[in-house]
Amino acid sequence: MGTSAADFLLGVKPGTRVVVRSRIGGGFTDAIGVLRSRTQTLCVVETKRGLVTIALADVVAAKEVPPPPAPRPLRRPPTP
């Protein structure tokens, strides 16, 4: 059997872009962003909405992800 998601988070370097799926009341949620820190019981991911602290006991999946795509150019309205 492979490495657990919590083991992955304990082994990956802070500064790595990750996605972490964790249990919440009644379901699951994902946090995608940069791993800022981790301890034996928690990890902190910096998302677009701010820092998210996740208990490793609640993590069901985690992996490294590539950088986000470049922003799309703004669309201009057609000129008359």
Task: Concatenate the DSSP letters of all residues of 41-74 into one string.
Answer: SEEEEEETTEEEEEEGGGEEEEEE-PPPPPPPPP
- Which pLDDT belongs to residue 3? 67
pLDDT tens digit string along 38-67?
999 999 999 999 999 999 999 999 999 999
Mean pLDDT of the chain: 92
**Stretch 23-34: mean pLDDT:** 95
CA 54/CA 32 separation, integer angstroms: 12
**Confidence tier at 1 by pLDDT (50, 70, 90):** very low
* Radius of gyration, alpha carbons of the chain: 16
| pTM of the complete model | 0.82
Domains of the chain: 5-64 (2.30.30.520)
pLDDT value of position 79: 72
The arithmetic mean of pLDDT across residues 18-28, rounded, is: 95
* Distance in angstroms (rounded) separating the CA atoms of residues 76 and 50: 31
